[in-house]
């Protein structure tokens, strides 16, 4: 019975990983389309959004049923809670990729701009945060999860710099206000992706160590011990 339950937990973990890979690819397509000035990739983003939504429903359903039927304790209970929460975070990441595509339309209608210089760097950091948070989950790597938490400040710094630059452009009344506002929204979308990746990393730490670090990132590293391994999954 326990072996079968462990297999069910592993299957659920794999579904979360697959969902994460799809959501991560949506970021790449959305930002890549913006940088290459090609909206074709957004068609794939909209298709993948449906896949992510289906994963979200499936993962929630599996987590609820396993919790009700097995009444797990300790790390197994935390894993099921984490799987459901991460499914929600990945669904929101996918939503942000869709928002980038929708906002990119107004940018691509305008002439090319050097204002895009910082945006792909910011997006690369956010995408890596998503990737690392999922890797931390797969490998039960608390140290890597903490690295994700620390990267959030970099994303926020890029957001602030982009906002300041674009607000100056809008104030100059150069006739590019719609484009600049769209870029501000895209930077905000990317920032939110980083926020969701941070939330995933927090859930991973909670699963592995039973520690809630949502309001204490600075303390997370002090309590980290990546050698602690949960039973079950």
Separation in Å, CA 3 to CA 7, 8, 34, 72, 233: 6, 9, 47, 13, 10
Q: Is the pLDDT of residue 31 over 80?
A: yes
Q: Is the pLDDT of residue 1 over 60?
A: no
Class of domain 2-220: mainly alpha
Which residue would you say has higher pLDDT here, 35 or 110? Answer: 35
Q: Is the pLDDT of residue 223 over 70?
A: no
What is the reported pLDDT for 163?
Answer: 94
Q: Which of 197, 20, 118 is nearest to 12 (CA)?
A: 20
Specify the DSSP class assigned to residue 174. -
* Sign of the CA dihedral running 176, 179, 181, 183: negative
Q: Is the pLDDT of residue 232 over 70?
A: no
- The residue-averaged pLDDT of 187-213 equals 97
What is the reported pLDDT for 217?
Answer: 63
Domain ranges of the chain: 2-220
What is the reported pLDDT for 233?
Answer: 52
């Amino acid at each position: 019975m326990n072996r079968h339950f462990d297999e069910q937990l592993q299957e659920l973990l794999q579904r979360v990983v697959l969902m994460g890979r799809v959501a991560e690819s949506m970021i790449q397509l959305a930002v890549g389309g913006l940088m290459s000035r090609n909206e074709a990739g957004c068609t794939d983003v909209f298709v993948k959004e449906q896949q992510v939504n289906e994963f979200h429903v499936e993962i929630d359903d599996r987590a609820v049923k396993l919790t009700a039927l097995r009444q797990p304790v300790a790390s197994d209970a935390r894993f099921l809670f984490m799987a459901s929460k991460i499914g929600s975070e990945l669904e929101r990441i996918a939503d942000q990729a869709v928002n980038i595509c929708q906002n990119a339309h107004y940018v691509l209608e305008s002439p090319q701009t050097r204002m895009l210089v910082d945006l792909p760097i910011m997006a690369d950091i956010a995408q890596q945060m998503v990737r690392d948070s999922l890797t931390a989950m797969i490998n039960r790597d608390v140290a890597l999860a903490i690295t994700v938490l620390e990267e959030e400040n970099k994303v926020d710094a890029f957001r602030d710099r982009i906002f300041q630059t674009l607000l100056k452009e809008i104030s100059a009344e150069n006739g590019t206000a719609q484009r600049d506002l769209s870029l501000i929204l895209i930077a905000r979308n990317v920032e939110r992706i980083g926020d969701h990746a941070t939330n995933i990393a927090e859930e991973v730490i909670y699963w592995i160590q039973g520690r809630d670090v949502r309001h204490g990132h600075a303390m997370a590293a002090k309590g980290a011990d990546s050698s602690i391994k949960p039973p079950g999954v």
